[in-house]
Structure 1
Amino acid sequence: MNNLKVIGREKIGQIEFTGIEGGFGEDKKAMTAKDIAQIHSKDVRYINKLINQNRRRFKDGVDVIDLLSSSDELREFAEQNGLIGSNRTEHVYILSERGYSKLLKILEDDKAWEVYDQLVDNYFNQRQAIRENQPALVAGKRLEIMEKNAATRKANLLYKIAMATESETSSQTLLASAAKELTGEMTIPVMKQKEYSATEIGSKLGITANKVGRIANSLGLKTEQPGQNEFGRWSNSKSQHSDKEVPQWLYFEKGYQAIQKAVS
């Protein structure tokens, strides 16, 4: 693992953060979860929670490094640069460009993609473009990202429409179109079947809905949003505390059985 070093405060437009090199490779840039949280107006505990819930999707040393669990040298780096908030701090994550892009898929908001475009152009790939004298490198990468972003947004819109329609045939067609935007193939998704909320499963098994969610995360039952798999699917539902729609994972029979087996 390459040595980490702070290269000072970076400023891209209105975005200001701590510039870091190393860890993911020579001259490779990185960002702290703390700075990412500030950029997206989130609490760092929320960003850490997203990373922890999707930990199996982030590869150590490639996408993410936890400075508090990697080595004494990295812990010392975190301490010397004021990255440890308190004695209760459990994780101090830094993310590579690849790790940050994965996090954006989970954040899934327009501001996130707008910020990422700026960071890719002016931070992550700046040194590589200068060193290799390839000004087209960043421009090409930006175009690739924009195309992927557009496909993801279109798929998300198709998915939401599919979940709102009462026609089974129309719903399946829309879901297939959403799958094509993400995979390039007109994949017919799993047909609708009996579904359970975390609350319903918790009531059946005598545990809380939160525990159901924790077990599901530990077993890796949930897929990325939007989407579905053999264990369940993502759905949008009204929040109990506001009119805002929030994502909710609904369990299929196989998902219910997996939770039941884990607590038995």
Structure 2
Amino acid sequence: MRDISLPDEESPFDRIRRVRPDGAEFWTARELMALMGYARWENFMTPVERAMKTAENQNMNADTIFLRSQEKTGGRPREDFELARYAAYLVAMNGDPNIKNVAEAQHYFAIRTREAEVGTVADRGTVPDLSTPAGVLAMAERFTQTARQLVATAARADAAEQQLAVDAPKVEAYEQFMDSTGTYAVGSVAKMIGSSQNKLYADLRACGVFIAGGAMRNTPYQRYMHHFTVKATSYTRSDGTEGTSYTTRVRPSGVDFIRQRAGTIAPSRVNSAADSINERHHH
């Protein structure tokens, strides 16, 4: 694959870029999968699903930027997505960092997304010619779009305030499990999601979040460390030799992450309360 950082060469990601009649650009997930170095659709669905969750957490309608479609082949049609630029960016950012092509995709879509943001700002700074009917119409459309955005923002703020009032008691209940470091014991998280400590450890090992054996058993793999903390404690064995034990604790962001990855279906109130905790600790 050619280096996409070279401005005078066409990027392979540019070559698979498609444009609809209305000018909207998109990338198909199947074509992006190949350029990002994934061989199997099942494996590529991991960053796609994470990207969709990220979009939903940003109050975006994932269905509109991750448009489901089918790839037509000589045989049975295969599942596919038409990814808007930002959707493709999120997929790249959630890709496996151990794959070289993923880093290239991240670099490409980060640049393209930034270029689009700068272009949007520049467009907004251009005042239509109000001496012409077309200019007046353009300004009216701009005012209408801004008004709709303000209404939508106000509606989201009202909904968030109402949800906060509902979640406040639940958040307080969750925070009773939190220690002075702002983290949870794995056993406490198990109670939150309706599981047991031993089962949760087993689930996290089974789904590849926790290491399954050796001295680091039941500690997270490096790529998931941002959801956890690990404390090392030295001790002396009965034979006089020194050893080290490791204790894993869960950050607030890890509660919903664990619920999803361990396959535990928790009541909806767990999600809203955990999200409220996350918001509180981000501010």
TM-score range, shorter chain: 0.3 to 0.5
TM-score by length of 2: 0.37
TM-score by length of 1: 0.39
Bigger Rg, which one: 2
